[in-house]
Amino acid sequence: MAETIQQKQSIKEFIATIPFNKIGIKELLNFEKTPQNMLIAVITLAFLAFFVLGVATYLMHGHHAYNVTREHPWGLLIAVYIFFVVSSTGLCIVGSLGDVFGFKDYEMISKRAIFGSIVTIMAGFAVIAFEIGHPVTMLIYNVLSPGLTSAIWWMGTLYGLYLTFMIIEFVFLLKHNMKMAKIFGLTGLLVGLAAHSNLGGVFGFLNARTISNGVFYPTYFILTAFITGVFIAFIMMGFRYKLQFPENAKVMLTNLAKIQALLISILIFFVTWKFLTDIYGDMPNRAEVARHILGSWTFWAEVVLAMLIPLFIILKDMGKNLTGMFWASLSGMVGVFFMRYNLVHDTQLKPLQMMKTTEYQLAPTWVHYFPSMAEIMISLGGLGLCILLYYVGTKLFNLDADTHH
Amino acid sequence: MARYGMALDYKNCINCKACEVACKEENGILMGADKHRIWVGVKEIEGEYPFLNIASSAFEPSQCQHCDDAPCQSVCPTNATYYDENGVVRVDADKCILCSYCMNACPYDARYVDDRTMTVDKCNFCSDTRLARGETTTACQNTCPTKVRTFGDLDDPESEISILLRTREHFSLKSHLGTKPKLFYLT
Ligand code: SF4
Ligand code: SF4
Ligand code: SF4
């Protein structure tokens, strides 16, 4: 008995000693009122308003507020959820470079990246909560009757654990307890990678969808997560230093840029071979879907924005043009969004019933989908939420590396 | 304990869609083109007049295949989709979270969303209507004017369906996917 009271007390003390800045509304509104900052503030507020509007529409009309159909049951919100959790996994990888693997140069971004990974996955959860029809039932039956053969079960459960580990790691980072941060960081990273490859498995396990079936997505997800993490690292550091990077940041970012060049090259190699094998031999269903994808502008948006532009900018000055990389990373994130959207949409392109099933209907060719207003609003809202949480975090915590050692 | 399956003498189908109506009526399926447990696939005649390819025209009535190895079941995160004691693949609406994974995983597009419960629904061989009342036929089978469907126990060697499958050649849809469908198309 006495022991539990003692334990409780020490937990209380542990929580009470987490260093944070006491701030009020006044401090929150206290930022440099430059035109850029004002613009970002207004956009964020608009996105948050969209979120409220989108959710309200959903609560009134249920899934009818979305353009998902029997043939295309997964829409924009699934893509946006993937976008956020990929970002989270990527930031976790970038954050781990310093505090888990001990690369000294990267320690300066660890805390910021780990905080970013918490914020992005929360935004992802906020979005998916309005896509899953019954989120509360999910919490109950995930435990009561777990579907152990389901990639969604593993993905969801592991991501839940991952979030917990990330939060604990972040607390230890704040407390400057590097040993514990390393333990929880490594566990979190491994769980996160497992969760993330399971998310790829959600698509890879679809035997019925030859275009997605196989080992490609589970591995590709990890690679693109790392790439996404590096993009966001540039964006966060760009904002932190207003593009006037100090010397140590320059060293780190130049190295990151070089890693990014390698990663993007591998990605281009992967994607090229995916399409070559998809089309080679004209396997029915797979080859025609691949050709259809190659003819869609969203695919080329992904290639140009997330692969070609960033790679070109890095290679031009061997990673030294950091301002250029900041902008290329913004382009990269738009490209990564298309990457996620394409992956979800392309999986469902091919109708599974191969004959027309109702009168006055043409034989099925391609399944069409364009997101509804509610879907778009909730998605932008997720982004708004993410920016808001991150901003609050920068006020609440010291996200820079601690100088005292 | 039976193992229910269905044989379809599909070449007899005249596309009258009586089965679609009977299923909606019997099982209280909502109106709307998307909301169906059962459908008739239509393949139009190919070729230009007068060289019409009569053989190309086909009607293919179909519904959930009640796969013995059902992808919709393996992917369900909460086991809302389950095999009942008769081998019928069914959905427990209380456990379904509407993640729609099964709709994507089913190779036959046999699943849709029931707007009343906002959960996934599909053909269940009339298990909670006719079979529950002790009848031995399904609504779609019963109504068919050309007697396309034969429903019964695959484990009983004396059942009509077992005899049919022993004596007539048949195939199943997308069987290369390893789903082991229990809908058999008689040729
Ligand atoms: S046909 Fe589709 S819904 Fe029916 S059991 Fe097979 S996979 Fe499941
Ligand atoms: S939609 Fe329902 S039945 Fe289908 S996989 Fe998800 S929880 Fe299972
Ligand atoms: S067996 Fe029953 S539930 Fe299934 S399609 Fe026929 S009428 Fe509908």
CB spacing of B178 vs A73 below 8 angstroms: no
Across A360-376, average pLDDT: 90
Question: Which of A73, A357, A363 is facing B40, going by the closest CB pair?
Answer: A357
Return the higher-pLDDT residue of B51 and A20: B51
In 3-state terms, what secondary structure has residue B70?
coil
Return the amino acid letter for B131. L
Q: Would residue A25 count as lying in a domain? A: no
CB spacing of B79 vs A358 below 8 angstroms: no
Chain A contact set for B41 (CB, 8 A):
353-357
The strand pairing partners of A356, in sequence order, are B42
In which domain, by residue range, is A56 found? 37-355+362-396
Please provide the distance, in angstroms rounded to a whole number, between the alpha carbons at the two ends of chain B: 29
Q: What's the structural domain count of chain B?
A: 1
The strand pairing partners of B41, in sequence order, are B60
pLDDT higher than threshold 70 for residue A212: yes
Contacts of B146 (CB under 8 A, 6+ apart): B9, B12, B13, B14
What CATH number is attached to the domain comprising B94? 3.30.70.20
pLDDT in the model for residue A391: 92
Per the CB < 8 A criterion, the answer to whether A45 and A392 are in contact is no
pLDDT in the model for residue A1: 57
Contacts of A213 (CB under 8 A, 6+ apart): A204, A205, A206, A207
Quickly tell me which residue has 């025609």 as its tokens.
Answer: A288
In 3-state terms, what secondary structure has residue A215?
coil
pLDDT in the model for residue A3: 67
Q: What number does the ligand 3 atom closest to the CA of B6 have?
A: 1
Sort B170 into a burial class: Cβ within 10 Å, 0-12 / 13-18 / 19+. middle
pLDDT band, residue A405 (cuts 50/70/90): very low
| Segment A170-209, tens digit of pLDDT | 999 998 888 999 999 999 999 999 999 999 999 999 999 9
Return the higher-pLDDT residue of A353 and B71: B71
User: What DSSP line would sit under A342-382, residue for residue?
Assistant: HHHHHHT-S-SS-SB-STT-PPP--------HHHHHHHHHH
pLDDT in the model for residue B56: 85
Q: Would residue A28 count as lying in a domain? A: no
Q: What's the structural domain count of chain A?
A: 1
The strand pairing partners of B185, in sequence order, are B8, B171
Separation of CA A288 from chain center: 30
pLDDT higher than threshold 60 for residue A25: yes
- How far off is chain A from B41, nearest CA to CA, in Å? 5
| Segment B23-66, tens digit of pLDDT | 999 999 999 888 999 999 998 888 898 899 988 888 999 999 99
Sort A183 into a burial class: Cβ within 10 Å, 0-12 / 13-18 / 19+. middle
Q: Hey, is the C-beta of A132 within 8 angstroms of any chain B C-beta?
A: yes
Q: Picking from A100-109, B120-129, B152-161, which range would have the lowest pLDDT averaged per residue? A: A100-109
pLDDT higher than threshold 70 for residue A404: no
Q: Nearest 5°: CA angle at A287, between A261 and A86? A: 40
The strand pairing partners of B112, in sequence order, are B121
Return the amino acid letter for B116. R
Which residues of A, range 162-221, sit inside 8 Å of B by Cβ? 202, 205-209
Q: Hey, is the C-beta of A71 within 8 angstroms of any chain B C-beta?
A: yes
Per the CB < 8 A criterion, the answer to whether A107 and A401 are in contact is yes
Share of residues in chain A with pLDDT > 70 (%): 98
What CATH number is attached to the domain comprising A253? 1.20.1630.10
Across B2-19, average pLDDT: 94
Across A2-26, average pLDDT: 80
Across A300-326, average pLDDT: 93
**Of A107, A105, A109, A103, which is closest to residue A91 (Cα–Cα)?**
A109
Distance CA A357, CA A338 (A): 32
Distance CA A237, CA A326 (A): 9
Distance CA A401, CA B43 (A): 66
Question: Which of A156, A205, A353 is facing B75, going by the closest CB pair?
Answer: A205
Return the amino acid letter for A372. S
pLDDT in the model for residue A236: 94
Share of residues in chain A with pLDDT > 90 (%): 74
Q: Which residue of A has its CA nearest to B59?
A: A355
| Segment A137-146, tens digit of pLDDT | 999 999 999 9
Q: Would residue A343 count as lying in a domain? A: yes
Q: Picking from A150-154, A209-213, A342-346, A363-367, which range would have the lowest pLDDT averaged per residue? A: A363-367
φ, ψ at B182 (rounded to 5°):
-110, 20
In which domain, by residue range, is B125 found? 4-186
Across B145-163, average pLDDT: 95
Q: Hey, is the C-beta of A365 within 8 angstroms of any chain B C-beta?
A: no
**Of B126, B100, B170, B116, which is closest to residue B38 (Cα–Cα)?**
B126
Per-residue CA distances from A70 to B102, B114, B115 (Å): 11, 11, 12
Per the CB < 8 A criterion, the answer to whether A84 and A382 are in contact is yes
Per the CB < 8 A criterion, the answer to whether A354 and B58 are in contact is no
Quickly tell me which residue has 């778009």 as its tokens.
Answer: A376
| Segment A343-361, tens digit of pLDDT | 999 999 999 988 888 877 8
Q: Picking from A24-33, A71-80, A230-239, B102-111, which range would have the lowest pLDDT averaged per residue? A: A24-33
Distance CA B175, CA B69 (A): 11
Secondary structure tally for chain A: helices H, strands E: 15, 0
pLDDT in the model for residue A2: 62
pLDDT higher than threshold 90 for residue B125: yes
pLDDT band, residue A20 (cuts 50/70/90): confident
